[in-house]
Amino acid sequence: MKILGYVGDRGLPKVTQSDAKMLDGINIAFGKVAEDQTLGTWELRHMDCLKTIREWNPDIRIVLSVGGWTAGGFSLMSRTEEGRKKFASSCADYVALTQLDGIDIDWEYPCSDSAGIDCDPSDRQNFTLLLQALRDALGNDKIVSIAAGAGAYFVRDTEMDKVARICDYVQIMTYDMRSGFCRQAGHHTAPFATKGDDSGLDTLSMVKLFNKAGVPLDKIVIGAAFYSRKWGGVPDVNHGLLQPAGTTGDYGAGYSGLLKDYINKNGYTRYWDEDAQAPFLFNGSSLISYDDPDSLKAKCGIVKYNGLLGIMYWEHGSDDTRELLKALYDNR
């Protein structure tokens, strides 16, 4: 079972020798699509850390993730062969310059302007063409991967069967499944569905969805959340679970912050959902959903039972305790 971690550029200096030895791969967040349709690297200021990380773990694979929430430019760039080749060529140049192992595309999302970015119906086909241009430019010895939104919308708006043939693996972001667009308080990153929930917003359901769409099980990487989502104005029914909330699921504290201020503290009680194999916190009016060592053990079970490639997580800096990374490593 592979363990991959998204690490923000500013977090690279905080990666320890122990971290490096537990990780099979690092996705550096983020490169961007520049206005001239080349790879934008203006946010990357700590790439010199990679030499030390590789000395600690010579087998680690380090890729640059391009995109992220609100990062646009993909749609316009990918509409023409010239744009795709220009971008892919600049990626190949940067990979060679920095001795990276590949490129991860985190386009959120093709055919959607939900993040305030440019989009077009042709994104569906152009997403595939962009990935093929990257494969052609990087060659077969480098990694081409994607971060895929965990929902039917992503499968609908892409050609996942073709994408899977091009990519080394598909990372399904099985977090934010209930998020800033959802007013139902509940699990945002649960391994399984909770009782009474037929929404399909759970990790195993997403694995089945993407597999049915043409992604081989051994190319699927599921996601773990090192941060939380929080709903307010939640009725005190069923400890708030699956209840209509007064807010959407706002981005909450990282795991370190949860341990410090929320888990069985300041009026919050930790509950364990046996069906979902997931924890949540409730204080009578606010519900917080997150991953912990117990839910990660269940996710590792999904990986091993179904023959998946591994687990990735967002984001390394959200857990200073390293409890979550250690849980993944211990249950691999």
Q: What is the pLDDT along the chain (332 residues), one digit of tens a residue?
A: 999 999 999 999 999 999 999 999 999 999 999 999 999 999 999 999 999 999 999 999 999 999 999 999 999 999 999 999 999 999 999 999 999 999 999 999 999 999 999 999 999 999 999 999 999 999 999 999 999 999 999 999 999 999 999 999 999 999 999 998 999 999 999 999 999 999 999 999 999 999 999 999 999 999 999 999 999 999 999 999 999 999 999 999 999 999 999 999 999 999 999 999 999 999 999 999 999 999 999 999 999 999 999 999 999 999 999 999 999 999 99
CATH number of the domain within which 229 lies: 3.20.20.80
pLDDT of residue 152: 97
Q: What is the pTM of this model?
A: 0.98
Q: Using alpha carbons only, what angle is made at residue 225 by residues 88 and 39, rounded to the nearest 5 degrees?
A: 15
Q: What are phi and psi of 26, to 5 degrees?
A: -125, 130
Q: Is 43 a catalytic residue?
A: no
**According to DSSP H, which parts of 41-189 are helical?**
49-56, 74-78, 81-98, 123-138, 152-156, 160-166
Q: How many CA atoms lie within 13 A of 9 on its CB side?
A: 16
Supply the Cα-derived Rg of the chain in whole angstroms: 19
Q: In which order are the strands placed within the sheet that holds 227-231?
A: 250-254, 227-231, 287-289, 278-282, 269-273
On whether the CB atoms of residues 131 and 163 are closer than 8 A, the answer is yes
On whether the CB atoms of residues 309 and 61 are closer than 8 A, the answer is no
- Tell me the per-residue pLDDT of 138-159, one tens digit each, with 9 for 90 and over: 999 999 999 999 999 999 999 9
Domain count, the chain: 1
Domain range spanning residue 156? Answer: 2-330
The active-site residue out of 108, 159, 315, 323 is: 108
